[in-house]
Chain A
Amino acid sequence: MTSPDPFAVLGLPARADLPDDEVRNAWRRIASATHPDREDGGDPARYAEASGAYTVLRTAWGRSEACADLTTPPERAIPPPVIGDVRPGLSPWRLAVLLPARVRHGRPGRLTVRMAAAIVVALLAWHSGAGTPPIAALFTGIATWLALTARGDLAPPPGR
């Protein structure tokens, strides 16, 4: 298995859009300096590490995968299985408690823009003087739009 950060092993910036040549050159540079067939014996451990990293990063898809993996939080410790043990479902209360965390791990920037747009339209409607029923209807419409679109900006609840 390779190091957690194959980009670092090859001395490359962690970018998914690196060209093939750059990755290959980085690997060849390390391989030529550490190959076990060198007269000084090379550095087999470093060579193996670099080869492993190159295996991961040699394709564009592999680089995007590695980049994505770097942004994923580290694995949790998994307790051993217990027969008949299943995790509990998420109650509405728990989902509400999780909301701030879902916002933080989602797309807070987009969510802010969306909220700001909704507030501006709501304020315009409020000051339009169109009467209670149309304004209440517009508020309902804005709330529906926000509920439908903002969902995409939140991180999914745990387990999904």
Chain B
Amino acid sequence: MWWYLRARLILWLLRGAWRLLRWAALAAILAAAAPLTIVAALAFVAAWLRGWPPARLRRAAAWALPMTAVYLAGRGLQAASWHTFALAPVHDWEAAWHQVSAGRAVTAFALTAPVAVPAGLVMASWLWAWRIYVIENGLSGKTATAPVVFDARQWRRAARVARGRVTAPGTFPLATRTGRVVMGATIRAVGARWRPVCAVPYQAMGRHQVVIGSSGCGKTNLMMRTWAGWYAAALQACTREGAARPLLIVLDCKGGPDARVKAARTRKLLHATGARRVAIWPDEAALSLWDLPPAQLAVTLFQLIESGTGPAAYYADVTQAVVTLAVAAPPGPPASAAGFLARLDEGWLQAAYAGDAGALGGVAAAQRGLADVALRYRTLLSRLGPGLNGPGALGDADAWYFILEGTREQSVAEAQAKALTELVAHAATSSGTEPRAILLACDDYSAVSGRVPLWDLYERGRSLGIGVQVSAQSWQGLGRDDDERRRICATADGGIWLMRTPYPQPVCELAGTRRVIETATKVIGGMWGDEGSSRVQHAWTVDPGIARRLEVGQAGYIRAGGCTWVQIARPKPSPLPLPAPPPAPEAVVIPAAREQARPAAVSSGAGDLDDVFGQEARR
């Protein structure tokens, strides 16, 4: 018995001594490498307190390398041989100890810093990465809830630091020299490369993007930053590389006084980035719907009118036939709303189509419905207002801010949205005008998506080379059904901006999962024991819990299976004035206007129209 107890005691003492020896050896190494230890410890604590990821420390180490390079170059110039050069850091290290013992800490610091600073930062990054790993995987921490507490604390700290950073004016211009749109300070990156400043290539802004965020979460701020940043970067590309001049088109689909305030602020931002004319429609500028090609104009005019199904389909067909006859008449398309309405008359149509037996037959067949069709269009065009009756074309301005009263007059706003999207499509495909890089941004588009479903807008944008950015207050606001919403988000190859929303799950599902280690801890006697098991599990790349708790101005940028959580910086342009523009080029080729070829609205002639207007007038 005594022999057994003695053996156990010796074994315990031996184990204790071995453990003590190991700690002593570690302490000796740390003391010997004191400068490195101090730098690593300080960096570790800083990363813990400020919620930095290990990448932040590695970046700092990389930026410290020029210092090491200068030090080595200097020592290389002084050294007589390779052997002396190789041992120079060791000699400086030894000399630093002597300086410390002599009470000259500053000299010791100067001797060791060129090597200790980058090496210490790298070491701290490894230690910090290891600490995060063991905590997240349940291998460390005093309680089983340690991973949750650690994650929440680090998020709070990172968010606080990011909020502080966005106040720095120079760190967050609207666009960088390299053509990236600066969005804000990175809080956390999951499955994406961490950079202190989140900047998106402007080309990504020119593709499809989706913004989802409930009211009051800072969505407007984010969108304005993307618009102004895209404009600034695209204008830089135009100046430097000869790329197409940018044209920003914003559809504010809710309207009201807030829309005017937003429009004014957007205009101010765009002016400071180099935009000359920012048109606000319909308050200050107008467009001409009648500039559309005849076939497109006929289809658009027909689609502006509500058409029912069942027996109503017959009247829809009659309406379409009448509109086509009026628009595609031999004298050319109408030049204004008044001109179009004047054509919805039997006498005008008969005169215009004199000699064309087939068309005259159509006019005779549609005769009974002509008055009704005219009445409907008179009502519609008067409700649409003068905003679409010209004069004006999209190419006249650098940016257009369209205010559609989607909340107050939904049916009118839907018709206006339809007409405007047709005009945008025409501007993108028209061969006679200057090619422009177009970004079409639709704020709360669901308010006016009756005539042009969002999915249709997306598809058209893709085929025409127009970047489309849409925003909605919720997942449900993106489309009529889940299929449509998923298709919109799945094709957003420019990325999805997710802000605070109570139902983020579908977007989180689209962002995909990442593999994590899930550790189960065994409970022994009402306490968490040190036994358990681990297994590989899948976790959301975009945590829905974070998306629900986001504060004002925080957003997640989801792209390519990764998510970067960002504190969006308030868009504020440079206060410095732009340089004076260069003189205008001498030869400016402006495409011939169609107005010159247009006839008077009604002609009483019956077959001599070609003599009056010439064959060129026919389209």
Closest CB-CB distance, A72 to chain B, in whole Å? 7
What mask results when residues 223 to 248 of chain B are scored 1 for a CB within 8 Å of chain A, else 0? Answer: 00000000010011011100001000
Please give me the residue from chain A that is nearest to B276 by CB atom: A81
Stretch from A18-26, A33-41, A94-102 forming part of the interface with B? A94-102
Tell whether, in the assembled complex, residue B396 and residue A140 are in contact, meaning their CB atoms are under 8 Å apart: no
Tell whether, in the assembled complex, residue B235 and residue A87 are in contact, meaning their CB atoms are under 8 Å apart: yes
| Given A65-B265, A80-B276, A84-B585: A105 touches B575 (CB 8 Å cut-off) | yes
Tell whether, in the assembled complex, residue B577 and residue A76 are in contact, meaning their CB atoms are under 8 Å apart: yes
A contact residues, range: 35 or more
Residues of A within 8 A of B265 (CB): 65, 69
Please give me the residue from chain A that is nearest to B68 by CB atom: A137
Tell whether, in the assembled complex, residue A68 and residue B70 are in contact, meaning their CB atoms are under 8 Å apart: no
Tell whether, in the assembled complex, residue A137 and residue B271 are in contact, meaning their CB atoms are under 8 Å apart: no
| Given A81-B396, A134-B111, A140-B66: A72 touches B268 (CB 8 Å cut-off) | yes
CB contact between B170 and one of A90, A98, A124, A152 (< 8 Å): that residue = A152
Q: Which of A65-123 contact B (CB under 8 A)?
A: 65, 68-69, 72-73, 75-76, 78-90, 94, 98, 101-102, 105-107
- B582 at interface (Cβ–Cβ under 8 A)? yes
Tell whether, in the assembled complex, residue A128 and residue B173 are in contact, meaning their CB atoms are under 8 Å apart: no
**Distance of A135 Cα from B92 Cα, bound (Å):** 12
- A3 at interface (Cβ–Cβ under 8 A)? no
**Distance of A149 Cα from B205 Cα, bound (Å):** 28
- B74 at interface (Cβ–Cβ under 8 A)? yes
- B261 at interface (Cβ–Cβ under 8 A)? yes
- A45 at interface (Cβ–Cβ under 8 A)? no
What mask results when residues 118 to 160 of chain A are scored 1 for a CB within 8 Å of chain B, else 0? Answer: 0000001101111111111111110011001001111111111
Tell whether, in the assembled complex, residue A158 and residue B75 are in contact, meaning their CB atoms are under 8 Å apart: no
On chain B, the number of residues with a Cβ less than 8 Å from chain A's Cβ atoms is: 74
| Given A106-B169, A144-B64: A155 touches B576 (CB 8 Å cut-off) | yes
Residues of B within 8 A of A154 (CB): 169-170
CB contact between A159 and one of B109, B232, B260 (< 8 Å): that residue = B232
Closest CB-CB distance, A107 to chain B, in whole Å? 7
- A56 at interface (Cβ–Cβ under 8 A)? yes
CB contact between A141 and one of B67, B232, B260 (< 8 Å): that residue = B67
Contacts between chains A and B (CB distance < 8 A), count: 198
Tell whether, in the assembled complex, residue A141 and residue B114 are in contact, meaning their CB atoms are under 8 Å apart: yes
Closest CB-CB distance, A124 to chain B, in whole Å? 5
Tell whether, in the assembled complex, residue B276 and residue A148 are in contact, meaning their CB atoms are under 8 Å apart: no
Residues of B within 8 A of A87 (CB): 235, 239, 274, 578-579, 581-582
**Distance of A85 Cα from B75 Cα, bound (Å):** 54
Tell whether, in the assembled complex, residue A137 and residue B169 are in contact, meaning their CB atoms are under 8 Å apart: no
- A32 at interface (Cβ–Cβ under 8 A)? no
| Given A86-B235, A106-B169, A156-B169: A138 touches B74 (CB 8 Å cut-off) | no
| Given A87-B578, A87-B579, A159-B273: A133 touches B70 (CB 8 Å cut-off) | yes
Q: Which of B256-302 contact A (CB under 8 A)?
A: 257-258, 260-261, 264-265, 268, 271-274, 276-277
Tell whether, in the assembled complex, residue B239 and residue A79 are in contact, meaning their CB atoms are under 8 Å apart: no
**Distance of A65 Cα from B262 Cα, bound (Å):** 10
Residues of A within 8 A of B173 (CB): 156-157, 160
Tell whether, in the assembled complex, residue A155 and residue B574 are in contact, meaning their CB atoms are under 8 Å apart: yes
**Distance of A101 Cα from B575 Cα, bound (Å):** 9
CB contact between B66 and one of A69, A78, A144 (< 8 Å): that residue = A144
- B410 at interface (Cβ–Cβ under 8 A)? no
Residues of A within 8 A of B579 (CB): 87-88, 90, 94, 158
Most buried by A among B271, B277, B397, B579: B579
**Distance of A138 Cα from B169 Cα, bound (Å):** 28
Tell whether, in the assembled complex, residue A101 and residue B66 are in contact, meaning their CB atoms are under 8 Å apart: no
Tell whether, in the assembled complex, residue B168 and residue A133 are in contact, meaning their CB atoms are under 8 Å apart: no
- B312 at interface (Cβ–Cβ under 8 A)? no
| Given A76-B577, A89-B236, A159-B574: A134 touches B114 (CB 8 Å cut-off) | yes
**Distance of A125 Cα from B573 Cα, bound (Å):** 39
Tell whether, in the assembled complex, residue A155 and residue B169 are in contact, meaning their CB atoms are under 8 Å apart: yes
Tell whether, in the assembled complex, residue A137 and residue B67 are in contact, meaning their CB atoms are under 8 Å apart: yes
Tell whether, in the assembled complex, residue A141 and residue B113 are in contact, meaning their CB atoms are under 8 Å apart: yes
| Given A68-B572, A87-B581, A156-B169: A78 touches B276 (CB 8 Å cut-off) | yes
Tell whether, in the assembled complex, residue A128 and residue B114 are in contact, meaning their CB atoms are under 8 Å apart: no
Please give me the residue from chain A that is nearest to B398 by CB atom: A81
- B527 at interface (Cβ–Cβ under 8 A)? no
What are 30 inter-chain pairs, A to B, with CB distance below 8 A?
A52-B257, A55-B257, A55-B258, A55-B261, A62-B261, A80-B276, A84-B588, A85-B581, A86-B245, A87-B235, A87-B578, A88-B239, A105-B575, A105-B576, A106-B169, A128-B110, A134-B74, A135-B110, A136-B71, A138-B114, A140-B67, A141-B66, A144-B63, A153-B168, A154-B169, A155-B169, A156-B174, A157-B173, A160-B232, A160-B573
Question: Assuming A72-B575, A137-B68, what are 20 further A-B pairs, CB within 8 angstroms?
Answer: A59-B216, A62-B261, A78-B271, A78-B277, A83-B434, A87-B274, A89-B240, A105-B574, A107-B169, A130-B110, A136-B71, A138-B67, A140-B67, A144-B63, A151-B171, A152-B169, A155-B576, A157-B574, A158-B577, A159-B236
- Please report B residues at the A interface, Cβ cutoff 8 Å: 63-64, 66-75, 77-78, 92, 104, 106-107, 109-111, 113-114, 117, 165, 168-171, 173-176, 216, 232, 235-236, 238-240, 245, 257-258, 260-261, 264-265, 268, 271-274, 276-277, 396-398, 434, 552, 570, 572-579, 581-582, 584-585, 588, 590
